[in-house]
Structure 1
């Protein structure tokens, strides 16, 4: 069956608009991080930003929408958009260029997929799965004590849980995003290493909460703990307190 030319064109335009919106997102984020627009400060109007970035206003609105969802800016009706908080400058140091908006969407994907995988894994996990999860957590404990990044152990822990769901579609979906996922893990764990030891301890406590729910075969608790952990990881990009 041949592709519908109109559909192909729409998908292509949508992809290009998304890329442009990501660029606008990061340019505005950089202006906030470097203090060009301070906390409490008002963003230039959509018209001015669209001229400055040479982008259409619909594309710019996508970027502003994402910044609002990330709670970096807030819009006040009839007044404009204002900066709510200034992300840690290390975000731009550690994140690959052009990746921040995509990393945020990867976390949204993970919360949905891994939350449901954890729900099923709590019922279907084997004793061997629990042992593998515990091994990954113990390796993470060692990494934290040694001041190491621990991305491989973190990824192993989450991958075991997905596999324990006994549903290959969860595994396939997550595997297709492995590079994006590890990029996000590298960013969040690198940011954590710049904070106090308590920050890494908090992240590890979230892992143990997931583990305990799975070990106790509490499906709802497993889903809730997994979704909360991934959502907190997303927020940690912009908030050093979580």
Structure 2
């Protein structure tokens, strides 16, 4: 019995150490990711410009090459850099400079993960909302869309109205776990919404209209109870928001 307890304790300790190592590596990778992104956003490394070699970058940032590669991998996923075999990594897109104004270094990596998580969670919530929503919930969605439209027309930020729309979609799924998960990450979501809507306000009216049209597509699919269309519309909307931040345009 004592031997089994010692084995279990050793296993738990090993798992805890592994988790701490993974968390430390993730934090280091996030820091490198954000610092490279800042250089690209500021124009220090221009579009078409080549990044320093992995050896130079890892030495410059004081991290191992595996940690550096995690950061470069995320930049590739974002569409910011592209790598060519035997040639190196090049800047493909320059995210909007306003990113560094509305999302200071230290939060950018978490905003990226929030978009990814929201795509998965809210896409499924929208699908269920289309199947289960009540007449009253549909009316609440329409009200939140009308408030968003007012914000667009008057040039207001509209973060609260945007958040309310997405929250109602989740509650319309008739599954409280979607609501609970969203509530637990409310601060991260608001940070992302502040960023995306501030960026939209700094662009043309067409940008605001495009974002509003995406909300309307989600509503229309839920209204006609087309579950797959609602899921696809929600996922496309959140992914487009991510692209507008990290890919630019």
Matches of 1:176 and 1:33 in 2, distance apart? 30
Indicate conservation of the 8 Å contact 1:21/1:59, yes or no. Answer: yes
Q: 2:218 aligns with which of 210, 219, 223?
A: 210
Q: Secondary structure of 1:74's match?
A: strand
Matches of 2:119 and 2:158 in 1, distance apart? 20
Matches of 1:146 and 1:125 in 2, distance apart? 30
Who is 2:35 aligned against?
27
Q: 1:157 aligns with which of 148, 151, 165?
A: 165
Indicate conservation of the 8 Å contact 1:112/1:227, yes or no. Answer: yes
Matches of 2:119 and 2:80 in 1, distance apart? 20
Q: CA deviation at 1:172?
A: 1.2
Indicate conservation of the 8 Å contact 1:25/1:66, yes or no. Answer: yes
- Answer yes or no: is 1:225 the counterpart of 2:194: no
For the pair shown, which has the larger CA radius of gyration, 1 or 2? 2
- Answer yes or no: is 1:194 the counterpart of 2:202: yes
Matches of 2:19 and 2:154 in 1, distance apart? 47
Aligned residues: CA RMSD:
1.3
Who is 2:122 aligned against?
114
Indicate conservation of the 8 Å contact 1:195/1:240, yes or no. Answer: no
Matches of 2:240 and 2:115 in 1, distance apart? 10
Q: 1:96 aligns with which of 96, 101, 104?
A: 104
Matches of 1:164 and 1:231 in 2, distance apart? 21
Q: Secondary structure of 1:166's match?
A: coil
After superposition, the Cα gap between the structure-2 partners of 1:160 and 1:139, relative to the gap in structure 1 and judged at 3 Å, is same
Matches of 1:240 and 1:144 in 2, distance apart? 21
Q: 1:139 aligns with which of 130, 135, 147?
A: 147
Q: 2:138 aligns with which of 117, 130, 141?
A: 130
Q: CA deviation at 1:240?
A: 4.1
Who is 1:183 aligned against?
191
Extract unaligned runs of 5+ from structure 2: 1-7
Q: 1:234 aligns with which of 232, 235, 242?
A: 242
Matches of 1:216 and 1:51 in 2, distance apart? 56
TM-score, normalised with respect to structure 1: 0.97
- Answer yes or no: is 1:9 the counterpart of 2:9: no
Q: 1:68 aligns with which of 72, 76, 89?
A: 76
Q: Secondary structure of 1:237's match?
A: helix
Matches of 1:96 and 1:4 in 2, distance apart? 37
